[in-house]
Every structure is written in C-alpha cells, then in structure tokens.
Amino acid sequence: MKIILLSGGSGKRLWPLSNNARSKQFIRLLPSPTGGEESMVQRVVRQIGEAGLDCDVTVATSAAQRGVIEAQLGSGVDIVTEPERRDTFPAIALSTSYLSLEKRCGDDEVVVVMPCDPFTDGGYFATIAKMAEAVENGAADLVLMGICPTYASSKFGYVVPRHGEAGKAVMAVDRFTEKPTEERAAKLIEEGALWNGGVFAFRLGYIRAITSRYVQAATFDEVRSRYGELPKISFDYEVAEKAQSVAVLPFNGVWRDLGTWNALAEELQGNCIGNAVVDNPECGSQVVNQLDLPLLCIGTSNLIVAASPDGILVADKEHCEQLKNMVDKLPQAPQYEEFGWGYSRVVDVTDEAITSRIEVKYGATTDEIVDNEHDRVLTVLSGSGSIEIAGIATELSAGEVYKVGRGESYKIVATTSVQIISVSRY
C-alpha cells in the first residue's frame, strides 16, 4: 500500500506564520506527544506511522515546498514536485506515474491519496485501512472516505450513497454534489449524504489507464516533462464523477480544517507560544510570537496575536476571515524559509541591503546558491566546515568573514552546526 499526500496551498489565512514558501501545513504549532510543537504535515505522517499502516509515503507538491518538506519529514518520504501548478488530477497522475515508472509498483498496488493537513484522530487512519481493504476485495474501482456531516454546510462537496445502502460498512455511490445551498445540504444529509473528505483509494492500474489517455510514456521523467499535456482539472471531476464503480466508507470522528486562526487557536496549548506574556489568561487571547523580542498583552480579550519575521497580526478571533484580503495587498517576499539543510531568516532590510541569519544543520550541505543581484558578506558566528566560492573551496570557521561577488555561486558544507550572518548588498 502506498499513500500519496497532496501538499499545496499558499496559506495566507494564517499570515504572518504562513507565506508562499511555508503553507499552513508547515507551521509548527500543534502540541507534539513527545513535547514541543509539530506541524500539520508532521502530525499526519506521525499518525500514519502510529496507525500501523504498512505503507510508503509520497508527497506531491511544488518545487518551492521541497525544502521545507525535507526539513520537516526527513528522508522517510519520497517527494514528487510538479513542474508547474495545475490541479489535483495532474498532481495525482504524476505521483502515480512515479510509483509505476520510478518505484516499479505493479498495477495491483493499492494507493490512497489524501490531503496533508486535516486535523483528525486515529479513527481516520483506521478508516483508510478499511478503504484499502475494500479496494483489495474488489468492492469498487474507486473508494472514497465520506465524513459524517455535523451541520448543513455549503462549503463542502457531498457524496450521496445509493438508495438502500445507508448503514452498510461500504456503500455504493449514487452521485456527487458540489457545494450545495444550505437548504439543499440539509436535504442531502437527510438522504444520508456525506462530506467528500478528499481521500481516495484505488489500484494503481486504474489511474494509470486514465493517465495514459493523455500521456503515454516509458519513464517518469517523460511524464514530468510532458506535465502540461495533462488537463487542468480536479481529481473529483476527472475521475470520481466519471467513475462507474465508486464506493464510500463513512468516517465519524474528529475532522477539522485548521485553515484559519480561529480554528487553529483552539488546538494550541495555553495562551502563549514563544516570548510572550498575557496578563489575564482567562481572557481568551492567544499569542504566537516567533520574533526574538518580548510581546505583552494587557487587558485584551479574545484576540489572536501572531508575530513572525513576515509581520505582526492583531485580530479579534471573530474577524479572522478578513485576513486573506488584507494580506493579498501586502507586497512582500517570504522573510523565513526552511530548507532540508537548515533555514534562512531576514533580520533587517534597508534600501541598500538585506541582512539574514542563516543556519546550516550539523553535517548538512547547502544548495549551490547564486545571487545575481547582490554582493554578499558572510560572517560566521559559530561552527566549522568548508565553503566553496566560485568553485574554490576553503576552510570555514567561526569569526571568519567570506565575500561572495554578485553572480558567483557558493555552497557551505557544515561539519558542525554553522550559524552565519549574511549581508547582501545591491
């Protein structure tokens, strides 16, 4: 069994902690059972392991997210990056091609596709195991998870089981309904309809056949290079709604989208994360401070206060949904980026220069970095290793200063953890 995690999104709704390089699923704020905090995607991968699912995990994502995924999930997962953003059908076609052509999985292999950011409990993963079983037993070509609705929402897609299937462990699907009115939703729920949770199970050959209608290729690299030939359409429209044989398994447990500050705040531990003090902890105000300076909240109630190198948010919890529109108007580059090899964080910006703190992890090697716009001065705060500038390698040690010219490439090999202040001048 293979699991494909779909990782996308720009995450403006959780600004300033999320940005284009760090979607909401990568924000480390959820309490981890081992202490400290974990991100949504780390939580999902941990839960997959805890559920005892015997599977490999492949993450389907954009090139911009590769670094943060390597940083958070390590080498335990495969990563497939889309050459361009299209939609969920092409992303799943690409990932399944990777399993067929690169990992040499057979057509009978059971594959489960799921989003990487639902906040759920163990029952969700037990349902996934049953979905895989249903595919193995030939219950249907395509098996979906149906979330038992808790209210007549107009925001979700609905899966309607066939008449008379209600109560069965595996129900045949009659039809799909995308985002109905609330009134229509209430009627659907009466009929036994479930929310479409975006979790799909199938045999690899089933999707390979659909993919080959658009791209027939002998290697994964070829599929990838012809990615633009796959139609820009969702998996629901291209596969689920056209399928002749579809079944749904209900899941009735914790299932939340922590996509807004209001929703995320409910899962945080205590009032404060980071260097912060709230004077009246009963007041319902919550603070996440990722800056190195103290934050004080005095006499406030029901606020979300979030501070990061990208900005500072002070919002009434009931009004968080207005955030996205306001963030859309902010012109800015991400100020904090996580990579497989470490991180880079902007600490100062002037008209002339950008100053950043860079950390290269113990034993890690940075990418080859080329900057055509700036000269750079790298001052090593601590650690040791080597640095290659324009092809020439030198020893790197604490207290030393290295200059990199505009357009020259450089690369750092850290033998211990290395901290650097980088000053980039226009």
Tokens, residue 348: 């100062």
**Using CA atoms, how far apart are residues 194 and 118, in angstroms rounded to an integer?**
16
Question: In this chain, which stretch among 124-132, 181-189, 198-206, 285-293 interacts with a copy of itself, using CB under 8 A?
Answer: 285-293
Strands in 353-360's sheet, in edge-to-edge order, are 336-339, 342-349, 353-360, 418-425, 375-382, 401-404
Shortest reach from residue 266's CB to a copy of itself, in Å:
18
Report the site for a copy of itself in 346-365 (rule: CB under 8 A). Answer: 347-350, 352-353, 355, 357
The smaller minimum CB distance to a copy of itself, of residues 211 and 422, is found at 422
Smallest separation (angstroms) from a copy of itself to the CB of 189: 31
Q: How far is the CB of 401 from a copy of itself (least distance, A)?
A: 5
Q: Residues 169, 209, 254, 401: which binds a copy of itself (CB under 8 A)?
A: 401
Q: Report the C-alpha gap between 53 and 165 in whole angstroms.
A: 28
Question: CB of residue 81 vs a copy of itself: minimum separation in angstroms?
Answer: 30
Nearer to a copy of itself by C-beta: 209 or 333?
Answer: 333
CB of 301 to a copy of itself, least distance (A): 8
Q: Considering the rule CB under 8 A, would residue 379 count as an interface residue with a copy of itself? A: yes
Nearer to a copy of itself, 108 or 279 (CB): 279
Copy the structure tokens of residue 226.
């012809």
Of residues 104, 9, 119, 19, the one with CA closest to residue 61:
9
Contact window for a copy of itself (CB under 8 A) among 28-36, 121-129, 196-204, 395-403 = 395-403
Q: Tell me how crowded residue 232 is: count the other CB atoms within 10 A of its CB.
A: 12
Tell me the CB-side half-sphere exposure of residue 174, using CA atoms within 13 A: 14
In the complex with a copy of itself, the residue whose CB is nearer, 12 or 208, is 12
Q: Which residue has the tokens 């009434």?
A: 316
If one asks whether residue 293 binds a copy of itself (CB under 8 A), the answer comes out as yes
Q: Which of 1, 51, 263, 398 is in the footprint of a copy of itself by CB under 8 A? A: 398
Looking at the DSSP bridge assignments, the partners of residue 249 are 145
Which residues are registered as beta bridge partners of 175?
160
User: Would you say 342 and 359 are in contact if contact means Cβ atoms under 8 Å apart?
Assistant: yes
Strands 110-115, 2-6: pairing is parallel
At a CB cut-off of 8 Å and minimum separation 6, what does 116 contact? 5, 6, 7, 25, 40, 41, 44, 59
Three-class secondary structure of residue 1 per DSSP: coil
Interface pick for a copy of itself out of 49, 231, 281, 294 (rule CB under 8 A): 294
Give the 3-state secondary structure of residue 127.
helix
DSSP H or E run through 128: helix 122-136
Q: Quick one: 133 or 316, whose CB is closer to a copy of itself?
A: 316
263 binds a copy of itself (CB under 8 A): no
Sole binder of a copy of itself in the list 148, 381, 390, 393 (CB under 8 A): 381
Query: What is the C-alpha to C-alpha distance for residues 173 and 186, in angstroms, rounded to an integer?
Result: 18
Both tokens of 8, joined, read 């996308």
Closest approach, Cβ 412 to a copy of itself, in A, equals 16
């996509």: which residue's tokens?
259
Coil, helix or strand at residue 101: helix
Query: Rule CB under 8 A: which of 310-349 touch a copy of itself?
Result: 310-316, 318-320, 322-323, 326-327, 330, 332, 335, 347-349
Which residue, 126 or 398, is less far from a copy of itself as judged by CB? 398
Which residues in the 204-243 window bind a copy of itself by CB under 8 A? Answer: none
Three-state SS for 186? helix
Q: What's the rounded Cα separation, in Å, for the pair 145 and 3?
A: 14
Shortest CB 135 distance to a copy of itself, Å: 45
Distance CA 11, CA 343 (A): 19
Beta carbon of residue 327, minimum distance to a copy of itself (angstroms, whole number): 7
The yes or no reply on residue 303 touching a copy of itself (CB under 8 A) is: yes
Query: Residue count at the site for a copy of itself (CB under 8 A)?
Result: 58
Cβ-Cβ contacts under 8 Å for 411 (sequence gap 6 or more): 365, 366, 367, 368, 369, 387, 388
297 binds a copy of itself (CB under 8 A): yes
Report the interface residues with a copy of itself, using CB under 8 A: 15-16, 277, 279, 289, 291-301, 303, 305, 307, 309-316, 318-320, 322-323, 326-327, 330, 332, 335, 347-350, 352-353, 355, 357, 375, 377, 379, 381-382, 398-399, 401, 403, 419, 421, 423, 425
